[in-house]
Amino acid sequence: MIDTKAIEEHIRGILVALGDDPDREGLVETPKRVAKMYEEVFEGMNYTNHEIAEMFDKSFEDGASDAVVVMRDIDLFSYCEHHMALMYDMKATVMYVPKGKVLGLSKIARICDMVSKRLQLQEKIGRDIADIMTEVTGSEDVAVMIEACHSCVSARGIKKSGTKTYTAEVRGAFRTDPMLQIYLR
């Protein structure tokens, strides 16, 4: 579990290291607030992919349908593991070909949400969502596309604001079937 007391102490140390006074009015509650925020925005770090799959394994049988399911533009945010910087304007598109098991759309969104609440790189979010989708639905035919702005790019260093990073985790029939590939854009 996330150690909020330790986060509070370390954030206080960072404020001191920045040369500020952690006891001044505007900052006195900051370590506590940051710890509480981290507890929420890093909630997914409490769980393995397998545990997330079990959490959202409320799929229902639907033997009749093998039509591709595409859920576009699921709003997410995350934090990059290189800078602990916010990745924002993030959208995930998740698609899969059901193998007799169809997952509720709200469950797909919640899987994406939980996976994004970790320290990681953008491409790992796509891999983890794809792994969990396969575990929950039993289908290897999964694709996850993610786009995001990285504040470690837009706010510092080369300062290319508005630049988006696109990643695609493409598996199974999505790699080979032209009828499925039309959804990969």
The residues that are catalytic are 80-83, 122, 150, 152
82 counts as binding Zn ion under rule CB under 5 A: yes
80 counts as binding Zn ion under rule CB under 5 A: yes
55 counts as binding Zn ion under rule CB under 5 A: no
Q: CA nearest 96: which of 182, 171, 167?
A: 171
Q: CA nearest 117: which of 38, 55, 179, 56?
A: 38
Options 83, 99, 107, 110; binder of Zn ion; rule CB under 5 A: 83
Least separation in angstroms between CB 130 and Zn ion: 22
60: left (phi over 0), alpha (psi -120 to 50) or beta: beta
- Cα–Cα distance between 75 and 70 in angstroms, integer? 15
> Rule CB under 5 A: which of 152-181 touch Zn ion?
152
Least separation in angstroms between CB 147 and Zn ion: 16
109 counts as binding Zn ion under rule CB under 5 A: no
Q: CA nearest 83: which of 146, 33, 17, 155?
A: 155
Tell me which residues touch Zn ion (CB under 5 A): 80, 82-83, 85, 152
